[in-house]
Amino acid sequence: MKKIIKIHLYILILVCLSCQTETKKDTNNSTNQKSFKTEIDSIINLMTLEEKVGQMNQYTGFWDATGPTPESGNQAVKYEHLKKGLVGSMLNVRGAKQVKALQKIAVEETRLGIPLIFGFDVIHGFKTISPIPLAESASWDLEAIKKSAQNAAEESAASGINWTFAPMVDISRDARWGRVMEGAGEDPYLGSKIAIARVRGFQGDDLSSPKTIAACAKHFAAYGFPNAGREYNTADIGTSTLYNLVFPPFKAATDADVKTFMNAFNLLNDIPATGNVFLQREVLKGEWNFNGFMVSDWGSIGEMIPHGYAKNNKHAAELAIKAGSDMDMESNAYVTELANLVKEGTVKESLVDDAVRRILRVKFELGLFDDPYKYCNEETEKNVIGKKVFHEDALDIAKKSIVLLKNKNNLLPLKKQGQKIAVIGALANDKTSPLGNWVLAGENGSAVSVLEGLKQYKGNLITYAEGAKVALPNSKLHFTQELDINKTDKSGFSAAIKLARRSDVVVMVLGEHGLQSGEARSRTNIDLPGVQQELLEEVFKVNKNIVLVLTNGRPLAITWAAENLPAIVETWQLGTQNGNAIAQVLYGDYNPSGKLPMTFPRSVGQVPIFYNYKNTGRPNIKVRKEVFKSRYIDEENTPLYPFGHGLSYTTFSYKNLNINKAPEKEINVTVDVTNTGKVKGKEVVQLYIQDKVASVARPVKELKGFEMIELAPKETKTIEFTLTEKELGFYTNKGAFIVEPGEFNVYVGGSSDTKLSSKFNLD
């Protein structure tokens, strides 16, 4: 016993001493990067093989940490492992007291006292819930997105967390895939900017601050391209898509110094991402020089067995470590098999050492060796959770995330006085669905409902009818299996119709409940679920003044609504402040400024549909009589609403698009944007390019710049963009980034279907 304590203290002393010397040395280091090499080496020298493997083992929270310890079963085994130093990380544990209890075991009861790192899915807020990531992405406001991640970091860190499994930077073009709610949409340029904003928000400038946590770029790679949009399905994508679309946000996260990566459940071209040497060793740790660590997805090492890639858990462990997976989340493969694999010579111990080094470095960077309990102060937790400023910021980004899809005859904004407004749809009165999926620490019923938000405006008579049941307000968040929505019960229709008939305006809140999107929520039909479409059409028969407030976690095919209704507002799932944000937009106290980060299809048959497609050899589809063209016989090729679309209560004109060549292969693009309407408004000015002829065919348009501006009525601003080689180049099918001379088109406007264009030649 004495000896154990001695070793433990020895490390702490050694570590403290060397931290001091490193810190001194690093004050002159402009990158502010510490390698902690000496400290890590000294710890590795003291570790047994089993202890090293322990650092690579991650368990989910398994018993009430502050209650009695488990005596038998799986939980008891995990508890024993923890005491023996065979656990390096835990997930799903939260609360300063709970985290501290487990950390205490790691630090005070194991031989070497190495602290645990606590991971959690802090996806869009912690207790204070921000809009779902797809919604936030619709704000195109990188500062607001960064702030949202920063607040989530501070709030979760106060509750013991020091590592989030976010951001999910998977590009996806498939609205059937429920997990699009967790990403930044379909575009690699926007996705990369948002990835950087989120990583910087979570990690801040100083990872050792108790307000910042390590981020995790996930899921590497191509998880957002499941065949047929079905969750966990194989991704079959070409090299060009992999390099030019899937990789860029991951690369951007790496360049922003993201501390961890998570691999993915899917096969990529028939090799599991978790066992993929090319992805993890060659690209990420090789070419990109990533020096953080790679955690597997939940059980994904073991899932290589049903994939038909690994024979058994032992084989899976071997394949995963060789491919570069550093930490095993809940497969039990490393903790049971890895030491033996090393002892029998199948796996080199240097691979284990490398993984452990990476994990320890992040723990050092978080400051866990200085103070393993720094995230575990109950007083801080009480003061930080739900801070007023978090709610103010959540409201700010919620307003910015709303996209005005249609507003015929200026039905919106609503008048503030003397109106009879019928609010129809169960989702209007739902205080849980607006939180969306991935709200593990959030409370059911903690969102402001749309109805509550609208009722704050006292000048109108607001009445409500459910119309059709859809929501699951009492369900256990995330894990419920009751995912379906009412498909038969129309008992509420007549009351809703009656109400609509005697109202001036009808606000219909329709869409998906909070758990219809997210992980394992793929749909084959992306219309309004259940009987909601029927309800909408019935109400329309008696009152045409309908404002459709959509609430959903993915693009929906709302073609009938787009053709028939005067006003449609996409509100996604906006989190805690949902109803307040929606009311402010509907009443014009916030002029909507959001732009779609994903294309809205006319029907599910068009999916995957996206703006940055390549021309076929038969692109001209204008002449209907020509049969042999790339088109459908029963539907347009065009989307219902394009990527980048979003209206305002004012209008903007774009003029004087000028292109000037600058030295160093730089191109300057300027454009004059004028507010031509009657109210102040914000616009996201978007710039797209087309490389007309290239050795790898390029898309018809690619986003390469955007800027959010605010203009008073009649005000004009000249906006300038600079295109450098970074924007003008692309990846070849061998993964080389090249810039080719030739003709480029440039498009500037308020959405991806802008027609304002000019061109230049790159020498």
Q: Minimum distance between the CB of residue 582 and ligand NOJ, rounded to whole angstroms?
A: 28
Q: Minimum distance between the CB of residue 673 and ligand NOJ, rounded to whole angstroms?
A: 39
Angle at 90 between CA 85 and CA 96, to 5 degrees: 105
Q: Which is nearer to ligand NOJ, 146 or 218 (CB)?
A: 218
Q: Which is nearer to ligand NOJ, 58 or 137 (CB)?
A: 58
| Cβ contacts of 97 within 8 Å, gap of 6 or more | 65, 66, 376, 378
Q: Which is nearer to ligand NOJ, 165 or 600 (CB)?
A: 165
Binding mask 127-166 for ligand NOJ (x = CB under 6 A): --------------------------------------x-
Q: Could you give the 3-state DSSP secondary structure of residue 357?
A: helix
Q: Which of residues 690-749 bind ligand NOJ (CB under 6 A)?
A: none
Cα–Cα distance for residue pair 486/310, rounded to 1 Å: 42
- Give the interface size with ligand NOJ as a residue count (CB under 6 A): 6
| Cβ contacts of 127 within 8 Å, gap of 6 or more | 155, 159, 385, 386, 441, 442, 443
Cα–Cα distance for residue pair 209/343, rounded to 1 Å: 40
Q: Which of residues 496-525 bind ligand NOJ (CB under 6 A)?
A: 519
**In contact, 477 and 515? CB cutoff 8 Å:** yes
Q: Which residue is nearest to ligand NOJ (CB)?
A: 165
Q: Which is nearer to ligand NOJ, 165 or 590 (CB)?
A: 165
Q: Minimum distance between the CB of residue 272 and ligand NOJ, rounded to whole angstroms?
A: 14
Among 94, 100, 218, 285, binds ligand NOJ (CB under 6 A): 218
Q: At what angle do helices 349-365 and 313-323 cross, to 10 degrees?
A: 70
Rule CB under 6 A: is residue 298 a binding residue for ligand NOJ? yes
Cα–Cα distance for residue pair 110/113, rounded to 1 Å: 5
Instruction: Give Dmax (Cα) for the chain.
Output: 90
Pair of tokens at residue 278? 């090319």
Give the HSE-up count for residue 326: Cα atoms under 13 Å, Cβ half-sphere.
28
Q: Minimum distance between the CB of residue 519 and ligand NOJ, rounded to whole angstroms?
A: 6
Q: Minimum distance between the CB of residue 528 and ligand NOJ, rounded to whole angstroms?
A: 27
Backbone angles phi, psi at 221, to 5 degrees: -150, 160
Residue 669: its H or E element = strand 666-675
Q: Which is nearer to ligand NOJ, 186 or 519 (CB)?
A: 519
Residue 520, Ramachandran bin (φ over 0: left; ψ between -120 and 50: alpha; else beta): left
Pair of tokens at residue 551? 């609430």
Rule CB under 6 A: is residue 538 a binding residue for ligand NOJ? no
Q: Minimum distance between the CB of residue 105 and ligand NOJ, rounded to whole angstroms?
A: 22
Binding mask 73-112 for ligand NOJ (x = CB under 6 A): ----------------------------------------
Q: Minimum distance between the CB of residue 472 and ligand NOJ, rounded to whole angstroms?
A: 21
Among 121, 393, 538, 702, binds ligand NOJ (CB under 6 A): 121
Cα–Cα distance for residue pair 223/233, rounded to 1 Å: 8
Among 297, 430, 691, 702, binds ligand NOJ (CB under 6 A): 297
Is 763 in the active site? Answer: no
The neighbouring-strand residues paired with 510 are 550
Catalytic residue (one of 297, 328, 396, 691): 297
Cα–Cα distance for residue pair 432/428, rounded to 1 Å: 11
**In contact, 460 and 598? CB cutoff 8 Å:** no
Cα–Cα distance for residue pair 81/6, rounded to 1 Å: 21
Q: Which is nearer to ligand NOJ, 165 or 730 (CB)?
A: 165
What letter does residue 281 receive in the DSSP assignment?
A: I
Give the HSE-up count for residue 338: Cα atoms under 13 Å, Cβ half-sphere.
34
Q: Which is nearer to ligand NOJ, 112 or 217 (CB)?
A: 217
Q: Which is nearer to ligand NOJ, 300 or 552 (CB)?
A: 300
Q: Minimum distance between the CB of residue 677 and ligand NOJ, rounded to whole angstroms?
A: 42
Cα–Cα distance for residue pair 443/435, rounded to 1 Å: 9
Q: Minimum distance between the CB of residue 437 and ligand NOJ, rounded to whole angstroms?
A: 11
Q: Minimum distance between the CB of residue 483 and ligand NOJ, rounded to whole angstroms?
A: 17
Measured from the Cβ of residue 524, the count of other Cβ atoms closer than 10 Å reads 9
Q: Could you give the 3-state DSSP secondary structure of residue 484?
A: coil
Q: Which is nearer to ligand NOJ, 224 or 530 (CB)?
A: 224
Binding mask 314-353 for ligand NOJ (x = CB under 6 A): ----------------------------------------
Answer whether the bond into residue 642 is a cis peptide, omega within 30°. no
Task: Give the N- to C-terminal CA distance of the chain in Å, as an integer.
Answer: 73
Residue 242, Ramachandran bin (φ over 0: left; ψ between -120 and 50: alpha; else beta): alpha
Binding residues vs ligand NOJ (CB under 6 A): 121, 165, 218, 297-298, 519
| Catalytic machinery residues | 297
